[in-house]
Structure 1
């Protein structure tokens, strides 16, 4: 088990706090000399191999059992006992006289959100279904649908995706959201239409490890 940091944008931090996000997708990084546009194939869903039966991507950034702490925009409060403020809790448009620190600089001791990685796999981005978008925390209006997915064995709580126009909307919204995280110059390689390889990292909330507690 390793303890590692992970970054999310403000909306995804809120989704985790609300209990609506249990999964994230991160771009696969190819080894030097390999061609990201080559389809490749997977073994046990954990590694992508090239035509020579050789691994062609770097290992997943996280492994099942790893503990992650979410880095947020934060500020220390110099009182005893020491505590921290988190910008995600501020109301929109609220300007507090606080010096905020970038999330990338948050130390482990200031983290309040801890996650345990439960599953990791590699797949193409467009393999996603509406239920996967909901698990990403990206479409809160459909969160209640998750209660019926397991019962119906379908990808849509109405029986099939064709019976639910909302499923199309879910996927379109996800496409926009994904593309908004990619530089315009990289859309041809990593945008939704490029259908890049991604790591699918599933997780659950957990307590802060004993050795990190202060």
Structure 2
């Protein structure tokens, strides 16, 4: 997650996230629903619905299911590694400059990561993540179906008073697929959990 969105999450302004469905359902899919028994998302064509056929498209959401707790990756660094004996390490977060002291797992080797430089979010280990999101809902929709209210919940800044336009600009910057109107996974949370490590002043 990028810095501005991490800050929006910590401030409670970001309570939704969207990711493109991969691979995309075929163009003839008209509706998508969740099957609790199969634990799959099912996409149906008009013919499937009219004739009672099995769903033409199935998928599992990589973000999880309602009730799951997902962790946030963000740009980070480690500092002040003490020793292999006590494994105490300081983690710094680029989004807001926060630093916390925690204990690294036994299998973590600080030599793999250069200290005093920021590491991309994709390289953040699970134990170093400070933010957990308990999901209250997961759904599938077209990206252009987003409302202004939901766009505000994405934590974006409005453009000319429109949060939807702010979200469109962000989506286009990251994925460049707004005009194609892809299907997207939508995950929503109400509250966040922040690890209560020792905060460094």
For the 8 Å contact 2:130–2:194, the answer to whether it is kept is no
How far apart are 1:79 and its partner, in Å?
A: 4.5
How far apart are 1:116 and its partner, in Å?
A: 0.8
The answer for the alignment partner of 1:105 in structure 2 is 123
For the 8 Å contact 1:120–1:202, the answer to whether it is kept is yes
Aligned partner (choices 65, 68, 71) of residue 66 of structure 1: 68
Larger-Rg structure = 2
Structure 1 residue matching 2:136: 3-state secondary structure: strand
The answer for the alignment partner of 1:192 in structure 2 is 178
Q: Give the total of aligned pairs.
A: 162
How far apart are 1:107 and its partner, in Å?
A: 1.2
The answer for the alignment partner of 1:75 in structure 2 is 77
Bigger share in strand: 2
Could you tell me the TM-score, scaled by structure 1's length? 0.66
1:42 aligns with 2:28: no
Q: How does 1:2-21 map to 2 (within 5 A)?
A: 8-21=1-14
For structure 1, the 5+ residue unaligned runs are: 1-7, 91-96, 142-164, 210-214
The answer for the alignment partner of 2:140 in structure 1 is 122
Could you tell me the TM-score, scaled by structure 2's length? 0.69
Q: Aligned equivalents of 1:57 and 1:30: distance in 2?
A: 10
Q: How does 1:86-165 map to 2 (within 5 A)?
A: 86-90=93-97, 98-139=116-157
How far apart are 1:26 and its partner, in Å?
A: 1.0
Q: Aligned equivalents of 2:170 and 2:118: distance in 1?
A: 26
The answer for the alignment partner of 1:29 in structure 2 is 22
Structure 1 residue matching 2:151: 3-state secondary structure: helix
The answer for the alignment partner of 1:56 in structure 2 is 57
Structure 2 residue matching 1:71: 3-state secondary structure: coil
How far apart are 1:74 and its partner, in Å?
A: 1.1
CA RMSD of aligned residues (A): 2.8
The 3 A distance-change label for structure 1 pair 124 and 21 is same
For structure 2, the 5+ residue unaligned runs are: 36-40, 83-87, 98-114, 197-201
The 3 A distance-change label for structure 1 pair 101 and 18 is same
Q: Aligned equivalents of 2:193 and 2:42: distance in 1?
A: 27
